[in-house]
Amino acid sequence: IKTQHGIVQAVRGVSFYLEEQETLAIVGESGSGKSISVKSIMGLLPKNGRITEGSIMFKGNDLAKFTEHQMQKVRGSDISMIFQDPMTSLNPTMTVGKQIMDVLNEHRYDMSREKKKERAIELLSLVGISSPEARFSQYPHQLSGGMRQRVVIAIALACDPQILIADEPTTALDVTIQAQILDLLRDLQKRIKTSIIM
């Protein structure tokens, strides 16, 4: 990462392998490079950040060499990410249903608008949100923190990704809700057969 004081090596010497339907936990103290490591997989480094060596192999391709256009096709469809704070992950001016449908619009050209709406409601139900048809038309501020995080998970799962990256998905939630979200991720992993990096 380029800074005013020169180049900072945010992450170095990191190596891991993720099997199909496996959960991999990356553990380290605050500032050790966990988030920047997983954001590099998604091609979501800050503007002043870049990968200078190493590779990120996925389905026989090195994601580290992908252009932004190529990464847009991978991001959200093959690999999805759940971010730390659901309030900053969701657009406050859009209904939660529209935000789920946006991911489908980006990657699922084969689906009609009606099918996309059906899929969005199905996803809200899948992540344990009651009255999903009614919630579809609500805005993020109308939902509790736990429900917002469930919506963020629904968005991440919209295109059945092979890898789900959960960057401290329970940080902003109270302890009871944290346990529910972790149980939900475990349950979803069995159902949709995805691999998870936490």
Detail the DSSP E strand segments found in the chain.
2-3, 6-7, 23-24, 57-58, 61-62, 79-82, 163-166, 195-197
Q: With bands split at pLDDT 50, 70 and 90, how would you rate the model's confidence at 182?
A: confident
Contact, 40 vs 125, CB < 8 A? Answer: no
Pairwise CA distance, residues 119 & 132, whole Å:
11
What pLDDT, in 10s, does the model give residues 87-144? 778 999 999 999 999 999 988 888 889 999 999 999 999 898 999 999 999 999 999 8
3 state DSSP class of 43? coil
* Predicted TM-score of the model (pTM): 0.85
pLDDT score, position 173: 73
Burial label, 177 (beta-carbon count in 10 A; 0-12, 13-18, 19+): middle
pLDDT score, position 17: 95
Contact, 158 vs 166, CB < 8 A? Answer: no
Contact, 167 vs 35, CB < 8 A? Answer: yes
* E strand or H helix at 37: helix 34-42
Whether residue 184 has pLDDT greater than 90: no
pLDDT score, position 88: 78
Pairwise CA distance, residues 101 & 121, whole Å:
10
Tell me the average pLDDT across 166-186: 80
pLDDT score, position 55: 95
pLDDT score, position 19: 93
What pLDDT, in 10s, does the model give residues 55-95? 999 999 999 999 999 999 899 889 999 877 767 789 999 99
* E strand or H helix at 173: none
